[in-house]
Chain A
Amino acid sequence: MQVTRFLIEIRESIAAAFRALRANLLRSILTTLGIVVGVTAVIAIVSLLHGLDRTVKREVAGLGTNVLYVGKYPWIQMDDFWKFRNRKDITLEQGQRLLDLVTLPAAASLQVSASSTVKWRERTARSVSLDGHTSEGRLVHDLDPEFGRFYTSLEARDGSNVIILGNGLWRDLFEERDPLGQRVRVGRHVFTVIGVLPEQGTMMGMDQNASAVIPLQTLLKLFGTRRSMVITLRSPDAESLALVEDEARGLLRRIRGIPFGAEDDFAINRQEMLLDLFRSLTAALFAVMIGVASLSLLVGGIGIMNIMLVSVTERTREIGIRKSVGAKRRDIMWQFLVESVVVSGLGGAIGMGLGLAIALVVSSVTSLPAAAPIWAVLLGLGFSTSVGLFFGIYPAAKAAGLDPIEALRFE
Chain B
Amino acid sequence: MQPIINLSGITKEYIMGTQIVRALRGVDIQINQNEYVAIMGPSGSGKSTLMNLIGCLDTPTAGTYLFDNVSVENMTDDELAEIRNQKIGFVFQTFNLLPRADALHNVELPLIYSGISAGDRRRRALEALESVGLGDRVDHKPNELSGGQRQRVAIARALVNNPSIILADEPTGNLDTTTGEEIMAVLEILFQAGNAIILVTHEEYIAEHANRIVRILDGKIGSDDRVERRRHANGVTAAQSSGHQ
Residues of A at under 8 Å CB distance from B? Answer: 1, 4-6, 8-9, 11-12, 19-20, 23, 317-318, 320-331, 404-405, 408
Of A11, A321, A329, most buried by chain B (CB within 10 Å of CB) is: A321
B81 within 8 A of partner (CB): yes
Q: Chain B residues with Cβ under 8 A from A328's Cβ?
A: 77-78, 81-82, 113
A51 nearest CB across to chain B (Å): 45
Q: Which residues of B contact A408 (CB under 8 A)?
A: 57, 92, 96
Which residues of A sit under 8 angstroms from B85, Cβ to Cβ? Answer: 325-326
Contact across chains for B58 and A324 when beta carbons are under 8 A apart: no
- Give the number of residue pairs across the A-B interface with Cβ within 8 Å: 74
B139–chain A nearest beta-carbon distance, Å: 14
Chain B residues in 8 Å Cβ range of A11: 118
Interface pair B110/A326, CB less than 8 Å apart: yes
Contact partner of B118 among A8, A325, A329, CB < 8 A? A8
Smallest CB separation, A339 vs chain B (Å) = 13
Given A325-B157, A405-B52, A405-B57: A331 in contact with B100 (beta carbons within 8 A): no
Given A405-B52, A405-B57, also A326-B96 (CB < 8 A) = no
| In the complex, B117 has a CB within 8 A of chain A | yes
Cβ-closest 8 pairs across A and B:
A326-B85, A5-B115, A326-B113, A325-B110, A328-B78, A328-B81, A12-B112, A321-B96
Is B97 engaged at the interface, CB distance under 8 Å to the other chain?
yes
Question: Which residues B101-141 have CB closer than 8 A to chain A?
Answer: 101, 109-110, 112-118
Residue B98 lies at the interface, judged by CB distance under 8 Å to chain A? yes
Interface string of B68-102 (1 = CB under 8 A from A): 00000000011001101110001010001111110
Partner of A321, one of B58, B98, B115: B98
Q: Which residues of B contact A (CB under 8 A)?
A: 52, 55, 57-58, 77-78, 81-82, 84-86, 90, 92, 96-101, 109-110, 112-118, 157, 161
B99 surroundings in chain A (CB, below 8 A): 318
Question: By the criterion CB–CB under 8 Å, are A4 and B115 in contact?
Answer: yes
Known: A4-B117, A8-B117. A322 touches B109 (CB 8 A): yes
Q: Kindly provide the distance from the CB of A209 to the nearest chain B CB, expressed in whole angstroms.
A: 62
Q: How far does the alpha carbon of A137 sit from the alpha carbon of B243 in the complex, in Å?
A: 99
- The chain A residue sitting closest to B92, CB to CB, is A408
User: Can you give 25 A-B contacts (C-beta < 8 A)?
Assistant: A4-B117, A6-B115, A8-B116, A8-B118, A9-B115, A11-B118, A20-B100, A317-B96, A318-B99, A323-B81, A324-B90, A324-B96, A325-B85, A325-B109, A325-B113, A326-B82, A326-B84, A326-B113, A327-B113, A328-B77, A328-B82, A330-B78, A404-B58, A405-B57, A405-B58
Contact indicator A329/B113 (Cβ below 8 Å): no
Find out whether the CB atom of B113 lies under 8 angstroms from the CB atom of A19.
no
A325 touches B84 (CB 8 A): yes
How close is A49's CB to chain B, nearest CB, in angstroms?
44
Chain B nearest CB from A21 CB (Å) reads: 11
* Residue numbers in A under 8 Å from B100 (CB-CB): 19-20, 23
Query: Which residues from chain A contact B78 at a C-beta distance below 8 Å?
Result: 328-330
Interface of A is mostly: helix
* Chain A hits for B115, CB < 8 A: 1, 4-6, 8-9
CB distance from A10 to the nearest CB of B (A): 11
By a CB distance below 8 angstroms, the chain B residues around A19 are: 100-101
Nearest A residue to B95, CB-CB: A321
**Which listed residue (B92, B98, B113) contacts A318, Cβ 8 A?**
B98
Q: Is B96 in contact with A320, judged by CB distance below 8 angstroms? A: yes
A4-B115, A5-B115, A405-B58 known; A329-B77 Cβ under 8 A: yes
* A9→B117 CA distance, assembly (Å): 10
Q: How far is the CA of A324 from the CA of B52 in the complex (A)?
A: 10
Nearest CB on A from B135, distance (A): 21
**How distant is the Cα of A401 from the Cα of B86 in the complex, in angstroms?**
21
How far, in angstroms, from A365 to B219 measured CA to CA in the complex? 79
Bound: A19/B81 CA distance, A: 24
Closest-CB distance, B79 to chain A (whole angstroms): 9
A325–B90 CB distance below 8 A: yes
Nearest-neighbour CB distance to chain A for B63, whole angstroms, equals 18
**Distance in Å from the Cβ of A224 to the closest Cβ of chain B?**
84
When distances are taken between beta carbons in the complex, the residues of chain A under 8 Å from B55 are 324
CB distance from A349 to the nearest CB of B (A): 24
Give min CB distance, B213 to chain A, whole Å.
25
Closest to B77 in A: A329
In the complex, which residue of chain B has the Cβ closest to the Cβ of A322? B109
Residues of B within 8 A of A321 (CB): 96-98, 109
Contacts of B114 in A (CB 8 A): 5, 326
CB A321 to nearest CB in B, in angstroms, measures 5
Q: A326-B84, A405-B58 are in contact. List 18 more A-B contacts (CB 8 A).
A: A4-B115, A8-B116, A9-B113, A9-B115, A318-B99, A322-B109, A324-B55, A324-B84, A325-B110, A326-B82, A326-B113, A326-B114, A328-B77, A328-B78, A328-B113, A329-B81, A404-B57, A408-B57
Please, how many angstroms separate the alpha-carbon atoms of A235 and B135 in the complex?
Answer: 87
